[in-house]
């Protein structure tokens, strides 16, 4: 359902994600865990097209979504929902049910 392969993301010239890969199959839940500043939010932003990776690929439902605008990715059924202490990345799997992963955000 979601496949991230060898993504490299930058903020300006600062290389912040180095070859991140993950795979989420339909019905599975994945959590990104780590200390502050380890890139959890940047991974989610890269997947959603808010901070697009310069290298690597992101596929959703078998389609490469690199270069799509965030609203186009959302129309495919994926959403990034920031909350007070967590970020949730949801993917619509069947009907109106959503499966997602979350990450803890330290204030």
Task: Give the DSSP letter of residue 41.
Answer: H
Closest CA to 101 of 15, 50, 29, 48: 29
Taking a C-beta distance cutoff of 8 angstroms, is the pair 31, 103 a contact?
Answer: yes
Domain span at 12 = 2-104
Domain count, the chain: 1
Residue located via tokens 């199959």: 25
Residue 79's pLDDT is what? 82
pTM, full prediction: 0.77
Residue 27 belongs to a domain with what CATH number?
A: 3.40.50.300
Q: Which residues contact 17 (CB under 8 A, 6 or more apart)?
A: 7, 8, 9, 39, 42, 43, 46, 53
Closest CA to 95 of 77, 74, 73, 70: 77
d(CA 64, CA 66): 6
Closest CA to 20 of 5, 2, 3, 31: 5
> pLDDT tens digits, the chain, 107 residues: what are they?
899 999 999 999 999 999 999 999 888 888 888 888 899 889 999 999 999 999 999 999 999 999 999 999 999 988 887 765 655 666 654 443 344 444 444 44
């Amino acid at each position: 359902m979601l496949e991230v392969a060898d993504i490299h993301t930058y903020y300006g010239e600062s290389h912040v994600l180095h070859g991140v890969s993950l795979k989420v199959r339909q019905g599975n839940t994945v959590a990104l865990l780590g200390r502050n500043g380890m890139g959890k939010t940047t991974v989610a932003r890269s997947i959603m097209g808010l901070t697009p990776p310069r290298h690597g690929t992101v596929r959703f439902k078998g389609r490469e979504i690199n270069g799509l605008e965030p609203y186009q990715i959302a129309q495919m059924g994926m959403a990034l929902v920031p909350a007070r202490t967590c970020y949730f990345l949801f993917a619509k799997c069947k009907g109106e049910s959503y499966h997602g992963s979350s990450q803890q955000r330290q204030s």
